[in-house]
Amino acid sequence: MPTPRLSFGPFEFDSPTRELRREGELVRLQAQPSQVLAALLAQPGEVVSRETLRQAVWGAGTHVDFESGLNFCIAQIRSALGDSAEAPVYIRTIPKRGYQFIGPVTSLQALPKPPVPSRRALIPVLGAGALAAAGWYAWSRIPPKPVRIAVARFQNQSGDPTLDHFTEGLSDALTAELTTAAPGVLAVIGNAPILRQPRGFQDLVRISTELQAGLVVLGQVQRQAGQGRVLLHLIRMPDQAHLWVTRVDNPDFSSALQTQSAIARRATREFLAKLQR
């Protein structure tokens, strides 16, 4: 039977409640990342496969695209622990296999029960204690705010007006894919009027400020001499740093829906993989 309370570095993790604390202070972690952390801590030093984590969090009978969700769970855990993929202290990525908790883990004994105070001593503090407990409980259950990402209307730079419909459809496909890939983690904005400006008038600073978005996605559809290309840029604000570019050469414009969906899925996987590092 696994020990309920585990300690590693300045952290403690309560397995039954899945509460993470740093030096006694509660660290807010959503339900699915907490489940992933529990599964890794249950086998410290062992490589836990992605399939094992899928079954632990989503269940064997659930058929979903869990890859993006798992990637973001790992990203949230690393953020909570102050860890990184490049120089891991706690969680190491094992490419194409899974993850390994590499930090030293210590089992802690259950805390002894405090003595029960007399009724006379309890009455003066009961009201204040109940209010404080209720306030702490409400605060501790407030989930972290999702990251706001704005998807600007993609631009058809091919000079071929017949690709206008494909370009707009690709914007919508990526917006939908991002929304379903990490619910509660990403807040996706795709229909605000400011996002529909032509490329020459797309002011990233203004988009970020008006929509309070920390990330902006720009897209281009190009074609020249019979060769096509799609570029999707993930840009961090406010420094406007390009975090990633998904590039697709010679997409099949004739199969619009299938091509749009395939590009949107690929870009979403690549964006989330980049954000977890």
- What domains lie within the chain, and their CATH numbers? 5-108 (1.10.10.10), 147-275 (3.40.50.10610)
Q: Per-residue b/e over 103-139, b at no fewer than 16 CB within 10 Å? A: bebeeeeeeeeeeeeeeeeeeeeeeeeeeeeeeeeee
Res 188 pLDDT > 90: yes
Q: Is the peptide bond before 238 cis (omega within 30 degrees of 0)?
A: yes
Res 259 pLDDT > 80: yes
CB distance 10 to 21 below 8 Å = no
Burial class from Cβ neighbours inside 10 Å (0-12, 13-18, 19+) for residue 78 reads: buried
Residues 6+ apart with CB under 8 A from 261: 173, 177
What confidence tens digit (pLDDT) does each residue in 53-76 have? 988 888 766 555 677 788 888 988
When pLDDT is cut at 50, 70 and 90, the band that residue 140 belongs to is very low
Longest dimension (CA), the chain: 89
When pLDDT is cut at 50, 70 and 90, the band that residue 173 belongs to is very high
What confidence tens digit (pLDDT) does each residue in 25-57 have? 898 888 889 999 999 999 999 999 988 998 888
Task: Return the DSSP state at 110.
Answer: P
Whole-number pLDDT of residue 139: 42
Say what percent of the chain tops pLDDT 90: 42
Q: Are strands 155-156 and 215-224 parallel, antiparallel or unpaired?
A: parallel
Whole-number pLDDT of residue 181: 82
